[in-house]
Chain A
Amino acid sequence: MSALDLIPAPNPVGRAHAVWVHARTEAWLLLRNGEQLLLALIIPLGVLLLGRFIGSQFIGINALAGSVLAMGVWSTGFTATAIATGFERRYGVLERFAATPLTPTGLVLGKAVSVIMITLAQLVVLGLAAALLGWRPSPTISEVGVLLLTLPLAMISFVSLALLMAGRLRAEITLALANVVHLVIVVCGGLVVPLAAHPAGLGALVGLLPTAALGEAFRAFADPAAVASGWPVLVSAAWAAATVLLARKAFRWI
C-alpha cells in the first residue's frame, strides 16, 4: 500500500535556518493572535490617541510618542512573551521542539528573533501613527546612541523576566500575573509617565526600573525638550545581566 521510504537518513537544516524557521512561525502565530495584537498595537495606539486628544495638557505629543514606543516594546518583550511561553510550556511545544534539530538554544533564539521582528514592526506602525498626529523628533547623536544601547538591553531584560515567569509558574497564573504586571508597570513603571512628573523620592526609585530606563531613553530621543543621560544604559545593562542569569538558572522546559 505504501511507497514510503522509512530507511533512516537524517539530514537537518543548518542551525541558523532552523532558528529562522522557528522565528517566522512564532511571529506569524503572534500576529494572528487577537489578544497579542491587542497588547502589541491596539492598546498603545489607543493610548496615543487618548494622550493626543484628551491628555495633551499633561503630556506633549513628542514625549507621548516616546512613552508609547516604550510601551509597545514592553508589551511584546514582556507580556506577550510571558503569556505565549507559558502556554507553549504547558502544551508541550518546548518539549517537542527541544528534541528536534532546532535544539533548546535554537528555540530561545528563534523566540528572540520573532520578538525583535514584531517589535520593529510595532515601532514602525506606532512611529508612523505618532508622526500623523504631529510627532516631529529631532534627536541628537547622543540621544540616538543612548536609545540604540538601551533598547536591546531593555528588551533582553524584558524577555528574560518573561521567561523567568513563564518557566516557573503555571500557564494560567502567568497569564493573569503578566497582565497585572503589565498594567502596573505601564502606570507606575516610568514607561508612560516621565520620571520628572513623579515626586522626587519616588522618581528616583522608579528610575531604577528597566522600564523607566527605556521610557526615558525613548522620550529623550522623541522629545526635543528632553535631554539624554547615560543612566538608562547603566540601569538596563544591570537588569539585562541579572535577569539573563536568573532566567538561565530558573527556566524549566517542562
Chain B
Amino acid sequence: MLVAEGLGVDLDRHRILIDLDLRVRAGESTVLLGPNGAGKTTFVRACTGLVAPSSGTLTVCGRRPARAAAEGRIGLMPQVAGAWSGIRAGELLNHLAALHRDPLPLAPLVERLGLGSALTTAYRRLSGGQQQAVNLIGALLGRPELVFLDEPTAGMDPRARRTTWGLVTELHTAGVAVLLTTHDMIEAAELADQIVIIDAGRARLSGTPAELTASDRSLEDVYLTATENSADLQSGPVT
C-alpha cells in the first residue's frame, strides 16, 4: 500500500529524510516512532504529495503520492489544526465529505467520538482533544485505503484515546492500511503491527512489537537506545 525505498527529502538545503526504507501493507498498522525533528511529519508530507522526494522512490497505493491523494485513496489526520479560523467543526466535516461521492455517514462517527454538541462550535474554540477528534473523522470520511494519523491522540483524554484506538483497530480489520506517528509507547505497542524507529531522518530499527521487545526490554528502553545518539545525528545541510 505504501512503499518507500531509499527515500531522501531535502528542505531548505537540509537533509530531512535520508535513505529511508519503509512499507505499509493493507490491513496493517505501522507506527513511526522518533524524537521531535526526526522527520516523521516530513515523511507524512512526502506521502501526501506535499513535499517532493530528492532521491529514492515513494509509491502510495501503487501511484505517485499526489495521484493517490487526488483519487481519494488516502486520508490525512494532520498534526496541525488544518482548518480555517472562522469555520465551525460541522461545516469543516461537511466540506470534507462533499469532496467524496459516497462519504461515510457523519452521525455515527460523531457519536462514537462524542462530538455531538461541538459541531456548531468554531473549530478554533474546541479543546485540543476535540480538534483531534474532528481531524480523525475528517481523515476517514472518504473511505480511504491508507490513513495517515499524525500523533492522533495528542491532547485527548483517556476515554477519547481508547475510542480512537478502537477505531484504528477497526480500520485495519476492515483492510485499511494505517501509518501512525506517536510519542506514546503504550499507544505504539497497542496498535502497531510493525514499528519503525527513525532518528535524524534515518530508520534506526524496525520490527513487530514482539520482536523489538524480545529481550525483555520495554519498548521505551528500545526506543531510547535506538535514538540515544540523537544529538550527534541531527540531519545536516546538503553537501
Contacts and interface: CB of A to CB of B under 8 A. Distances in A.
Given A103-B70, A254-B45, A6 B170 contact: yes
Contacts of B174: 5-8
B80 A91 contact: yes
A10 B144 contact: yes
Contacts of A6: 104, 140, 143, 170-171, 173-174, 176
Contacts of A197: none
Interface string A240-253: 00000000000001
Interface residues of A, number: 36
Interface string B215-237: 00000000000000000000000
A96 B148 CA distance: 11
A4 to B, nearest CB: 5
B85 interface: yes
B86 A29 contact: yes
- Secondary structure call for the A interface: loop
A12 B112 contact: no
B13 interface: no
Contacts of B210: none
Contacts, number: 134
Given A4-B109, A96-B138, A11 B143 contact: yes
Contact of B84 (A11, A93, A95, A99): A93
Contacts of B86: 29, 32-33
A253 B101 contact: no
A107 to B, nearest CB: 11
Interface residues of B, number: 47
Chain B CB within 10 Å, residue with most, of A22, A96, A254: A96
A200 to B, nearest CB: 46
Interface string B60-91: 00000010011111101010111111110001
A25 B138 contact: no
Chain A CB within 10 Å, residue with most, of B72, B138, B144: B72
A229 B3 CA distance: 59
Contacts of A231: none
Contacts of A93: 82-84
22 contacts: A6-B170, A7-B174, A10-B72, A10-B142, A10-B144, A12-B99, A13-B101, A25-B91, A25-B95, A91-B80, A91-B83, A92-B80, A95-B78, A100-B69, A100-B72, A101-B69, A101-B99, A101-B100, A101-B142, A103-B66, A103-B70, A104-B50
